[in-house]
């Protein structure tokens, strides 16, 4: 690890589940699923330097900092990496939290993946190296797919990743959250209660079908837990130019995709007039390249 003068800025992009099929519950209590995942231009920012103390330090900032626990996945990722790979000096991290918390956007997973990318680089490892993926999988189901922030199908409990969808193009997207946190456990409990788990085989879908014609099996149980989601999905579906609307993960963030930036901008303005108090992000989905995830390179 670099010593005096070390600094790094890390980008942690938000994750969207463009589709999500729950295949069944395993004996260990987890669920097998298949999900097409993409990443937004919305992201958290982590600023990392060496700590002037003997322990890792985490400072929280940004519009959603107040919703976070200081003992979060970033610190757990550093500790786990030390135990699994090798020594890391104490770090000081400032996390600027721009991704809503408990929103189906994988913000905590993205932050943990970002710090793992940095630590892997210091040891000459690729972000998707099996040893780094193993650490990520042990920390959380969404972290492995967040390591390189590129569109792909994830399967099982999230640890089985298909090859990236290299043809994934720029997609204008409107993200909306009604300002409520939805616990994932509550949604899966509602799913089990409604017996909506499917047993269909997880065959590979075309990318276009996965985006436009896919489904999210957690949508109905999420609405049962947080009824505010239903009107948001209806309003998004009714926007001119919207290519349908869907819930991301277990929610409560919903999204609609559009063919053009012009249609997106008009739709965002119309939605703001309907729900002026809701959190809205009008942006794009993209495949992030490695250099974009490290806008400031670590320096010795």
Q: What is the pTM assigned to this prediction?
A: 0.91
State how far Cα 21 lies from the chain centre. 17
Of 44, 56, 111, 142, the active-site residue reads 142
Would you state the pLDDT for residue 118? 96
Active-site residue, from 15, 98, 148, 217: 15
Q: What is the pLDDT of residue 278?
A: 97
Lowest mean pLDDT across 72-76, 204-208, 220-224: 204-208
- In this predicted structure, the answer to whether residue 237 has a pLDDT above a threshold of 90 is yes
Q: Would you state the pLDDT for residue 195? A: 54
Residue 143 scores a pLDDT above 80: yes
Q: What is the pLDDT of residue 260?
A: 94
**Cα–Cα nearest to 66, from 96, 42, 91, 45:** 96
244 bridge partner residues: none
For 81-85, 92-96, 163-167, 279-283, which range has the lowest pLDDT when averaged over its residues?
163-167
What are the φ/ψ torsions at residue 61 (nearest 5 degrees)? -145, 175
CATH 3.30.1330.10 correct for 7-165+288-293? no
CB distance 73 to 95 below 8 Å = no
pLDDT in tens, 167-209: 788 899 999 999 988 887 888 878 866 655 454 444 455 565 5
- The pLDDT of 52-78, averaged and rounded, is 89
CATH (residue range 171-286) = 3.30.70.890
15 classed as catalytic: yes
pLDDT for the residue 199: 46
Q: Which of 57-71, 78-92, 230-244 has the lowest mean pLDDT?
A: 57-71
Q: Which of 228, 227, 226, 245 is nearest to 236 (CA)?
A: 245
Handedness of CA 257, 261, 262, 264 (dihedral sign): positive
Q: What is the pLDDT of residues 257-266, one digit of tens each?
A: 999 999 999 9
**Is residue 28 over pLDDT 70?**
no
25 is catalytic: no
What is the percent of the chain where pLDDT is above 70? 88
Q: What is the pLDDT of residue 187?
A: 86
Query: What pLDDT sits at residue 128?
Result: 95
Amino acid 210: pLDDT: 61
Max mean pLDDT among 18-27, 126-135, 197-206 falls in 126-135
Q: What is the pLDDT of residue 206?
A: 53
Fill in the DSSP letter of residue 213: I
The whole-number average pLDDT for the span 268-284 is 96
Is residue 25 predicted with pLDDT exceeding 80? no
Enumerate the domain spans of the chain: 7-165+288-293, 171-286
Radius of gyration for the alpha carbons in the chain, expressed in angstroms and rounded: 19
CA–CA distance, 34 with 44 (Å, rounded to integer)? 26
């Amino acid at each position: 690890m670099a010593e005096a003068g070390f600094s790094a800025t890390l980008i942690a992009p938000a994750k969207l589940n463009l589709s999500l099929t729950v295949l069944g519950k395993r004996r260990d209590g987890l669920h097998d699923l298949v999900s097409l995942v993409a990443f937004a231009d919305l992201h958290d920012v982590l600023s990392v330097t060496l700590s002037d103390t003997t322990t890792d330090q985490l400072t929280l900032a940004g519009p959603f900092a107040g919703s976070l626990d200081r003992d979060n996945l970033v610190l757990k990722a550093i500790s786990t990496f030390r135990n699994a790979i090798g020594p890391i000096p104490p770090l000081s991290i400032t996390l600027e939290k721009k991704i809503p918390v408990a929103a189906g956007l994988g913000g905590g997973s993205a932050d943990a993946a970002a710090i793992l990318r940095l630590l892997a680089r210091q040891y000459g490892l690729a972000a998707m190296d099996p040893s780094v993926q193993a650490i990520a999988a042990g920390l959380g189901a969404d972290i492995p797919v967040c390591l390189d922030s590129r569109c792909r199908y994830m399967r099982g409990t999230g640890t089985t990743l298909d090859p990236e969808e290299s043809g994934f193009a720029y997609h204008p997207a409107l993200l909306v959250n009604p300002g409520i946190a939805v616990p994932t456990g509550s949604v899966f409990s509602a799913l089990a209660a409604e017996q909506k788990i499917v047993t269909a085989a997880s065959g590979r879908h075309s990318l276009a079908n996965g985006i436009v014609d896919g489904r999210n099996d957690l949508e109905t149980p999420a609405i049962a837990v947080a009824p505010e989601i239903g009107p948001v999905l209806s309003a998004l579906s009714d926007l001119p130019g919207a290519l349908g609307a869907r819930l991301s993960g277990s929610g409560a963030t919903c999204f609609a995709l559009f063919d053009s930036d012009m249609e997106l901008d008009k739709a965002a303005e119309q939605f703001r007039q309907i729900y002026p108090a809701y959190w809205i992000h009008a942006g794009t989905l993209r495949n992030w390249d490695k250099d974009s995830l490290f806008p400031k390179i670590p320096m010795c």
